[in-house]
Amino acid sequence: MRPLAAAAAGLMLAATGALPARAATVEVVVEGLRNATGQILVAVCPESLFLGRECPWVSRVPARGQSIVARLEGVPPGIYAIQAIHDENANMDLDRNFVGYPLEGLGFSNDAPIRFGPPRFGDAAVTVRDPETRARLTLRYF
């Protein structure tokens, strides 16, 4: 009788939405590194935090070769944008010139276009699904 009661309780929780959301691993392949200096910063951001400094899922991977793989754990299923920078001097910031153009490489999921400014969230949006989602992006240097 206990297994049946436990199953019924589980169905009731699922029906009310009280079950915790599962978390996924997001594997991001970042390509197009121009050198093996510094680190690659990768962030998975919901729309409300896109292009900001407070993305909840962030990874730092040493730059090496022409590409790296970053794995971000614990991302709830949903729609996010992925952004990456090649922090060549490891100062945890995207360096810019006096006009505001990036001096270091940057890229977005879906290789969202960077024209006269950053891309729109919708152009970079990816759907994260449990248990794992894979994405790739190419860094651009200006």
Q: Where are the domains of the chain?
A: 21-138
Which tens digits make up the pLDDT trace of 43-89? Answer: 999 999 999 889 999 999 999 999 999 999 999 999 999 999 999 99
**β-strand partners of 59:** 42
In percent, how much of the chain has pLDDT > 70?
85
**Residue 128 DSSP SS3:** strand
DSSP letter at 17? Answer: T
Q: Regarding predicted confidence, which is higher, 2 or 102?
A: 102
Question: What mean pLDDT comes out for the span 120-125?
Answer: 98
Task: Determine the pLDDT at residue 107.
Answer: 98
Question: What mean pLDDT comes out for the span 105-127?
Answer: 96
Q: Is the pLDDT of residue 5 over 80?
A: no
Answer whether 0.85 is exceeded by the pTM: no
Reported confidence tier of residue 116, pLDDT bands at 50, 70, 90: confident
DSSP letter at 14? Answer: H
Task: Determine the pLDDT at residue 6.
Answer: 38
Nearest 5 degrees, angle CA 70-CA 73-CA 77? 115
Encode 36-84 in three state secondary structure: CCCEEEEEEECHHHCCCCCCCEEEEEECCCCEEEEEEEEECCEEEEEEE
Q: Is the pLDDT of residue 10 over 50?
A: no
Please name the residues in contact with 125: beta carbons below 8 A apart, sequence gap of 6 or more.
47, 79, 80, 81, 109, 110
Reported confidence tier of residue 30, pLDDT bands at 50, 70, 90: very high
DSSP letter at 97? Answer: -
CA distances (Å), 30 to each of 22, 33, 62, 69, in order?
A: 25, 8, 12, 6
Average pLDDT value over all residues in the chain: 88
Q: Which of 115, 99, 59 is nearest to 83 (CA)?
A: 59
